[in-house]
Amino acid sequence: MRRTAQFSTFQLINNIIMVMLAVICILPFLHVLSVSLSSSAAVSANKVTFWPIGLNLNSYSRALEDTQLLRSLWISVERTLLSVTLGLTVTSMAAYVLSKGGGQKGIAGYKWFVGFFIVAMLFNGGMIPTYLVVTKMGLYNTIWALILPTMINVFNIILIMNFFKALPQELEEAAFIDGAGHWKVYLRVMLPLSLPVMATVGLFTVVGEWNEWLAGQIYMKPENAPMSTFLKAAISMPNIDIKNAEAAAKFNALSLNSAQIFIGALPILLIYPFLQKFFAKGIVIGAVKE
């Protein structure tokens, strides 16, 4: 460890600062996790800081008894899976076409299409007109209201397009000479080679869809709300168990709330190791320019 002879005081102090920053970033999570795992007596006595006291899983079993929470979890899973698969398909197809450019290799009207997407990236109708369009299409309270309006992200198209452009041309040309058409080149040559960028965009989509709550609030009835919307409602109106006469009822609600918060964040925490691996790559890919 002490490979460098000049292990200075600067480095020592710097390392301590860095560790402190890391700790500051996870302490809030640790506290809520501890509250969710502690006994209600310890919670109501304000004894819990960063370590559970009277470890038990009561809050979790109570949270999971709520059929609405389970339903919301399922809707979030469904929404996320559909968004990722459909979004990646549509986005990568568009990126493939746009990576060809105009002229002989690509499509006529290439510039017109680029303009079409760039304007869409820079300007939109805003919250209220979009809301009216979605509801008028009859998407209200269907899972498609959560998926379709945000499926095209122009930034992702640019990201994948730049990746396609950076792949060696010869591979494509060889496939064309072998008689493959564009669909075959896209499916058999480009997609298998673009796993890193697809994973990056896919993981970012998963995080975005899982965390998004506003569409769930304005387009869905409460019984069909996704997890983050359910959580938003549970947090702003902690469901205090009125029938429960014991004095600590409120603090049980606090513990329950903490458990709900953790269940809501859990999927992101579970995919975080994969995210970590890919996002740095993604940033580098995003920086690739002609």
Partner 1 sequence: MGMNIAVPAVPAKKKKFTRQKGSWGLYLMLLPAVVLTAIFVYVPMSGLLMAFQDYKPSLGISKSPWVGLDQFKFLFEYPDSMQVIWNTLKISFLKLAIGMFSTLAFALLINEVKHKFLRTSVQTFVFLPHFISWVVLGGIFIQLLNPEYGLVNQLLKALGHEPVFFLGSNHWFVPIVLFTDAWKEFGYGSIIYLAALVGINPALYEAAQLDGANKLKQMLNITLPSLIPTICVMLTISLGGVLNAGFDQIFNLYNPLVYESGDIIDTFVFRIGLIGGNFSFGTAIGLFKSVVGLILILGGYRLAYKVADYKIF
Rounded least distance, CB 169 to partner 1, Å = 15
Between 67 and 236, CB nearer to partner 1? 236
The closest alpha carbon to 199, from 99, 274, 289, 104, belongs to 274
**Separation CA 101–CA 15 (nearest Å):** 49
Between 242 and 287, CB nearer to partner 1? 287
The closest alpha carbon to 149, from 96, 79, 202, belongs to 79
Rounded least distance, CB 165 to partner 1, Å = 12
Rounded least distance, CB 67 to partner 1, Å = 20
Local structure of residue 149 (DSSP, 8 states): G
Between 147 and 224, CB nearer to partner 1? 147
The closest alpha carbon to 175, from 197, 162, 183, belongs to 183
3 state DSSP class of 239? coil
Between 16 and 81, CB nearer to partner 1? 16
Rounded least distance, CB 245 to partner 1, Å = 20
Rounded least distance, CB 38 to partner 1, Å = 12
Q: Who contacts 122 (Cβ-Cβ below 8 Å, separation ≥6)?
A: none
Between 22 and 81, CB nearer to partner 1? 22
Find tokens 């005081």 and name the residue.
9
Between 55 and 132, CB nearer to partner 1? 132
Local structure of residue 275 (DSSP, 8 states): H
Rounded least distance, CB 240 to partner 1, Å = 14
**Separation CA 117–CA 114 (nearest Å):** 5
Helices and strands in the chain: count of H runs, count of E runs: 15, 0
